[in-house]
Chain A
């Protein structure tokens, strides 16, 4: 397996695409790639970039996403694009697909369709991993994952990202869509997901909820929790959401799991209900969560170590990183320390491709191989591939 990553931040978007493609192609010794991933910053001219890369790739399958910042070995960039080219040996198979026009109403069905399409042609083959890109603006996006799990299996390993910008599938730039890859055969990979947020204050219970929205916590309007902690009324909370949401998510206590599953606030309703970037099951025991730069950095290192451990002593050939935008906010100007930590764990010669995301999908505890993938917030999900 050969994997090459090329990056460019040239202001001429055609040149940037060509530069990044050439670097990636050189890294795989100019072999014809089997698959391409394209990670773009939002400000780039998407049609121009896609057309340029398609001219080079011809009919090779391409999946991609756009993000406010992309991640490569050198650090994170707000302006640029990165391309990963994959050349697989004969004993690794993959299938790609895309589902369009997804809405809150058909998210689960779309997820099932995505799973069904990914499984197409994979009968009798050992399936081992899927990578998913979702448009993060789709309401009830976690239902896409639930729907997909109905087809591929609830504990089937998955790593995915909900993006802030459009996603790419072959020749298309898509909103309200999801695309994915399903790998089969002898793929050696490791997954790690961590957040580094710690519980604070007393536990509470979600007494009334609907999908992503918590209506009541401890039989009181859900927003009361944040009002009490921050000493603000509802209007002030809503005004200050930008400062509160990324730093203070709620943690859902998952029975049998050590870590809490984070849910960050997406909006506060006038009536006092709280909407989250992910489901908030009724009856859940929850805690307010808090983190620091040190915890954040340590969790990135732990996620990388977990992913590395999954490779069973094989040297990684590629690292895929989905990192929450909230973590970028928390680390501020120091956001590159996480990437440095990942570089240190895998070695600076291992190519990294990553993006900042609205939500991440990965098993809650990757050491538990039968662990069910969850919809995460504020987390860093790392996939390492070897072979």
Chain B
């Protein structure tokens, strides 16, 4: 019994010890769990604190990103708007380009442009987006009620906005109520040489914030508008001037055409007159010359020596007069188109050879060397041989006249753009610069000692010019005083 009790007590003791140990272990575990829970809670709290840092940083980043996005969008819109504005030179179209899409991209929904009109002494609206007609008129009347203030603001190139209002200006709340906008920017438009104005951009939204960056953006837009306006006005001015000039040129052209017609008529009358007079002169001249010749033969009786001398003079002067009359007749015939050129292809060298034969005696007599620098068969020309022969005779004859003994005359040719250019050069006294333009005029003679000694009609070069022009050619002269002269002319290729 005792043993049983002892065993029972022992077992109970052991159980108690075991339970106590278990309890101890559990308590330790509970303490451990509690500690772990505490650590977990602490970790969670730490994590939450870190989350707060992350969230606060993130919201700042988002704000910056949004502001950056807004700026970039604004810049893109400004760039496209500037491009669009600069593409027109019509004043009214400039403001039409301020479309709601662009204003929206700039971050606003209301836009106004007013320009100062000197004539009426008032601000006139040019565009109004986001406003009803009556609202526009109301703004216009408020604006003109305070026009001095707004004008001085513009002239001082000051920007007005819901964040910057100059001292002594209309207070912000009044401006908000005038323009019906919670946030706005107003920038002056200042073209250099014309009336000024301003652009107003605003929003009725309450959450929009205006930054200095927005102010800068609208200032740039206002400058662009000013420049576009300036360009448009300059263009209009230039356009009007051009129109005026064109009208003047048109009127003057008409006058000149009429004058030219008159000159042509007069020229024809002159040609007709010269032709008719020349014809009329030729008949009595032939009679004079005929009678003089008969008298000189002595068939009508012996004539005294003095009378004979006079008769010879009459005969010689009649020849000269006849020559003049013939050249005048030729000129007038060519001018009036009565002479048709019988064009035929021929070799230039051959034409010149004939001239050389004709003039060789005189050349020899004057001891002048004629150099023909044109090989045979190299230059085919389409000419009236008789007329071009006269050209060469005149030009070479002139050269001979003004080239001293032992001098040289040369004739050369070259092909230029489908034409043959012929140069007749001499080593004569040359032509003064001031005479160059007149030498092809009828009866013009260069004032020099040779001309005073040698007689001439002053019609030779005029005739040469008419003949060349009748061949669709051109003649001109280059000369250096004391060194020589070159007459150049063109003829069609054969």
Contact = CB atoms under 8 A, between A and B. Distances in A.
Given A242-B207, A243-B59, A247-B59, A202 B44 contact: yes
A230 B58 CA distance: 10
Nearest to A241: B207
A48 interface: no
Contacts of A78: 104
B48 interface: yes
A43 B101 CA distance: 10
A244 B207 CA distance: 13
Interface string A307-332: 00000000000000000000001101
Contacts of A243: 59, 62-63, 66
B55 A230 contact: yes
B73 A333 contact: yes
A9 to B, nearest CB: 9
7 contacts: A11-B99, A201-B52, A202-B51, A229-B51, A243-B66, A290-B55, A332-B69
Given A78-B104, A79-B101, A242-B207, A247 B48 contact: no
Interface string A190-209: 00000000001110000000
Interface in B97-123: 99-101, 104
Interface in A231-246: 231, 242-244
Interface in B21-57: 44-45, 47-48, 51-52, 54-56
A286 interface: no
Contact of B55 (A79, A248, A330): A248
A290 B56 contact: no
Given A200-B54, A202-B47, A332 B65 contact: yes
Nearest to A330: B62
B12 interface: no
A228 interface: yes
Given A248-B55, A332-B66, A201 B48 contact: yes
B47 A201 contact: yes
A181 interface: no
B56 A230 contact: yes
Range, interface on chain B: 20 to 34
B69 A290 contact: no
Contacts of A229: 51-52, 55-56
Contact of A290 (B58, B63, B101): B58
Contacts of B51: 200-202, 229, 288
**Interchain residue pairs A-B with the least CB separation, the first 5:** A201-B51, A332-B69, A202-B44, A200-B51, A201-B48
Contacts of B63: 243
Contacts of A79: 101
Interface string A205-239: 00000000000000000000000111100000000
Q: Which of A202, A242, A288 is the most central at the interface, judged by chain B CB atoms within 10 Å of its CB?
A: A202
Nearest to A231: B56
Contacts of A332: 65-66, 69
Given A288-B55, A329-B66, 8 more contacts: A11-B99, A79-B101, A201-B51, A201-B52, A202-B44, A229-B56, A247-B62, A248-B59
